[in-house]
């Protein structure tokens, strides 16, 4: 067990088993040894690769999508561009470069990045040092003022938010917790059966067979509702892209990844990325509860194709056609990222259907 695991084990010994959500929060964000606090996880030398690192076309199309939504809503004054978990800043750098085609939108932008990792913030500052617009950082979304229309990007952000797991047993639904076994190692355990009123709402839960696992992200649902309220309150739009599912089910998706391979979730906290597939139906319901209109989710491949990735690829392929073709395939093919990754749009109720969702 590593040092962070020993600290978690000591905390459990003192306070009792902790939820998976609490474990994920510590493993990912502990200031001294948390995964995101101590490293750059992206790229070939890291643990995983995201769409912006695969191709510049991804960020370019997202930037132009935001500009089109802004135009469709009557070009409101003083727009704010927010990105949640901006990685290395690659997506935003590509988006801002594409937005030079819409200078009226670009010049007016107030750009805010929501980032808690000091390592990644340093990389973002480097990537965006010559982006042509002022950029500032905040640690939490809720600190952003509701004083101007805002346009939000969240690419592979919701999958890393903490989840809770509930397991159907013969005794009823129990929460899966993180505990310590007899050998002193971190191990999963089940809580006593929970009363029905304390469980998150889940369609068809009553008919789930024993052994079913229901995953719920309170943080994700709360954030989606806040975004829906924000968009409906001041105008703008949000685009959420992540891997996940549209129809809620009863299976386990919590995973750890290190060096582009699956790892054990509990063995070395802080040394691997932890994530779970996003329940887009829960985000859609939450954003609507916030007052906004919601479109999707649709597959990433369908979304990027509708935005014109083939046409953009044709222009770029003159330099290296094989490379560009491989990038398009990776982003849009059903056997790659085309269907597992999905796009969800949140706009005010008065707004027209956003591009790609018509």
Tens digit of pLDDT for each residue in 291-307?
999 999 999 999 999 99
Q: Render 306-319 in DSSP notation, one character per residue.
A: HHTHHHHHHHHTTT
Which domains are seen in the chain, by residue range? 35-162+215-347 (3.40.50.12710)
pLDDT (tens digit per residue) in 257-275: 988 788 999 999 999 999 9
Mean pLDDT of 147-163: 96
pLDDT (tens digit per residue) in 161-183: 999 999 999 999 999 999 999 99
Question: What pLDDT, on a 0 to 100 scale, did the predictor assign at position 43?
Answer: 57
Q: For residue 204, give the 3-state DSSP assignment.
A: coil
This prediction has a pTM of 0.94
Asked if residues 83 and 77 have their Cβ atoms less than 8 Å apart, the reply is no
Q: How far is CA 174 from CA 141, 169, 282, in A?
A: 32, 7, 21
Question: What pLDDT, on a 0 to 100 scale, did the predictor assign at position 49?
Answer: 85
Q: How many Å apart are CA 299 and CA 137, to the nearest integer?
A: 30
* More confident position, 43 or 239: 239
* More confident position, 40 or 83: 83
């Amino acid at each position: 067990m590593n040092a962070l695991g020993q600290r978690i084990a000591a905390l459990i010994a003192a306070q009792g088993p902790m939820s998976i959500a609490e474990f994920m929060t510590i493993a990912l964000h502990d200031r001294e040894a948390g995964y995101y606090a101590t490293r750059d996880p992206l790229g070939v030398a890291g643990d995983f690769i995201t769409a912006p690192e695969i191709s510049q076309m991804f960020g370019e199309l997202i930037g132009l999508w935001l500009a089109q939504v802004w135009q469709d809503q009557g070009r409101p004054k003083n727009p704010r561009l927010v990105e949640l978990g901006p990685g290395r800043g690659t997506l935003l750098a590509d988006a801002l470069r594409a937005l030079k085609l819409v200078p009226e939108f670009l010049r007016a932008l107030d750009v805010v990045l929501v980032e808690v990792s000091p390592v990644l913030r340093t990389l973002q500052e480097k990537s965006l040092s010559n982006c042509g617009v002022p950029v500032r950082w905040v640690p939490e979304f809720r600190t952003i003022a509701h004083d101007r229309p805002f346009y939000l990007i969240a690419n592979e952000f919701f999958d890393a938010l903490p989840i809770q797991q509930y397991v159907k047993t013969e005794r009823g639904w129990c929460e899966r917790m993180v505990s310590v076994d007899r050998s002193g190692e971190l191990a999963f355990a089940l809580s006593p059966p929970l009363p029905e009123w304390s469980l998150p709402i889940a369609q068809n839960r009553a008919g789930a067979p024993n052994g079913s696992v229901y995953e719920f992200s309170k943080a994700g649902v709360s954030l989606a509702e806040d975004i829906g309220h924000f968009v409906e309150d001041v105008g703008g739009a949000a685009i959420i892209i992540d891997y996940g599912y549209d129809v809620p089910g009863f299976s386990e998706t919590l995973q750890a990844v290190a060096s582009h391979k699956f790892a054990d979730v509990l063995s070395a906290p802080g040394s691997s990325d932890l994530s779970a597939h996003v329940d887009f139906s829960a985000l859609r319901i939450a954003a609507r509860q916030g007052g906004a209109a919601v479109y999707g989710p649709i597959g990433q491949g369908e979304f990027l194709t509708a935005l014109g990735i083939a046409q953009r690829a044709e222009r770029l392929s003159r330099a290296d056609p094989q490379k560009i073709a491989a990038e398009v395939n990776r982003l849009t093919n059903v056997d790659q990222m085309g269907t597992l990754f999905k796009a969800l749009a949140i706009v005010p109720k008065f707004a027209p259907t956003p591009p790609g969702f018509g």
